Structure 1
Amino acid sequence: MADDQPITNLGVSTSSDEGDILRAQGFNVINANLNSKTSGPKVCLWYKKECGMKPITRIQFSFTSDMKSGLISAGFEQISRDLNAGTSGDHIFLWYLCGEKEDDIPIVDMKVTLNVNEEPELLKDGYEQLGCDLNRGAGGDWVYLWVKRKEPTYIYEITATDNSSRDKSLYEQGYTCVDESTNRYAKGNPIFLWYRRSKDKSKALSNLDVSLNPQSEFNLQQKGYTKVITNLNKGSGGADVYVWSLKDGCQKIQGINLLVNPKAMIEYEKAGVEVIDKDLNEGNIGKHPINIAYYAA
């Protein structure tokens, strides 16, 4: 997918017969198994680029029933194939939207990574990681879908939610959900980060940080950071954890990743990606640290 013609349709195959049908319909396959290293069948993502059709501008994933209602209400289309087919993992479904808002920038390319070593360079090359591990709960490789847009984009707003009541409103405002809970390894509320993108670099965020206690909150406030008021550790019994953003600065944020894979932090740091060395699971019984990484240019 080297050209900049937008992607207009998506499909998923969970068997060779389904793949043959999609190929006969003019779809092209991304040659990566979304069920990699699991007991399930080979699952593949397919795409079309059709002249005169509306471009796809946003892709989301659901792995709980609560995540579906906001997507349906906001007009997303679901592909009714479980990306974790044949495994004991979460039932994961892909949703897409052909949005027409100012911040809906067409997707022109997609890649799938099966190894964390591949991830930082894609982030630096302008690709946007979609936050759901497509093997979530199934073991196997850490599988992520990455998208590239028709024009460079920058993140200019960030928020978080601790329930699904705001999902429809946020989707309708143009937000993308990072489809992974900051409490994944803890017993607290499912907490999701959200962001908005724009082609306008001048209004983008330049820095992110995390507070783990009142003193660090005070320090960030004194530096001019803005606090996202949802506690990323809510209900876990751990510290109150908040993400903060800053707009001052020459470099502007192009991508935000939630590092859930225990091996991710060292690989991102080696590649020169900014990793906030503050565990979103601070003080709770989460078995692995979770960190935020971002790339600014």
Structure 2
Amino acid sequence: MAVTDIDILEGDQSPREGWEMDKNDLNAGAGGDYLYLTWQNDGTRNPVTDLYVIEGEDEDPPHGYYKIGTDLNKGAGGQYLYLCFTRDGSQPITDLAVVTSNNKDVAAPAGYKRYEKDLNAGARGKYVYICYKR
């Protein structure tokens, strides 16, 4: 299986049918809107192969990346952060997870790699990282 699409849910939205959702709030401890990472496995699109987080409200994603339009610090202050992903590449991402901690060195789950951008940067909440498996 491969991740074929990614989105961010707000508040008490439920994931779309056939989508997975991590139950960790992307604004954990920061007091902002409740935000959750959701993704589709084995949809009709090509697999997602890389993640990227851009800083700045008006920043464009790198060439070949799709920008999800929800600020990852929505309602919490901090930096404007947006998750981007691409389907260009040869190594599909097969699963996603979110880790939160009071420790900036929190490890990714076994078999996962941690994307090294704290998604609560500047918002003074817990450290929040997206992790992925290939």
Sort the TM-score into its range (normalised by shorter chain): 0.7 to 0.9
Conservation of the 8 A alpha-carbon contact between 2:5 and 2:43 = no
SS in 2 for 1:193: strand
The alignment partner of 2:127 has SS state of coil
User: Could you tell me which residue of structure 1 aligns to residue 40 of structure 2?
Assistant: 196
Match 1:290 to one of 123, 128, 133: 128
- State the 1:223 CA deviation: 2.4
Determine if the alignment matches structure 1 residue 260 to structure 2 residue 74: no
Q: Could you say which structure has the higher strand fraction?
A: 2
- Partner residue, 1:183: 27
Q: Residue in 2 aligned with 1:162?
A: 10
Percent identity over paired residues:
26
Runs of 4+ aligned structure 1 residues displaced above 4 Å come to: 262-266
Instruction: Pick closer, same or farther for the CA change 1:212–1:222 going to 2, 3 Å.
Output: closer
Q: In the alignment, what sits opposite 2:16?
A: 171
CA change 1:284–1:273 in 2 (3 A) is same
TM-score by length of 1: 0.41
Q: Deviations over 1:82-118 (max 9, x none)?
A: xxxxxxxxxxxxxxxxxxxxxxxxxxxxxxxxxxxxx
Pick closer, same or farther for the CA change 1:247–1:214 going to 2, 3 Å.
Answer: same
Aligned residue pairs, count: 134
AA paired with 1:276?
Y
Contact kept, 8 Å, 1:212 with 1:282, in 2: the verdict is no
Q: Which has the higher contact order (CA 8 A, sep 6+)?
A: 2
Unmatched runs of 5 consecutive residues or more in structure 1: 1-152
RMSD: 2.6
Structure 1 or 2: more helix by fraction: 1
Name structure 2 gaps, 5 residues minimum: none
SS at match of 2:34: coil
Contact conserved, 1:204 with 1:252, CA < 8 A, in 2? yes
Does the residue aligned with 1:242 lie in a helix, a strand or coil?
Answer: strand
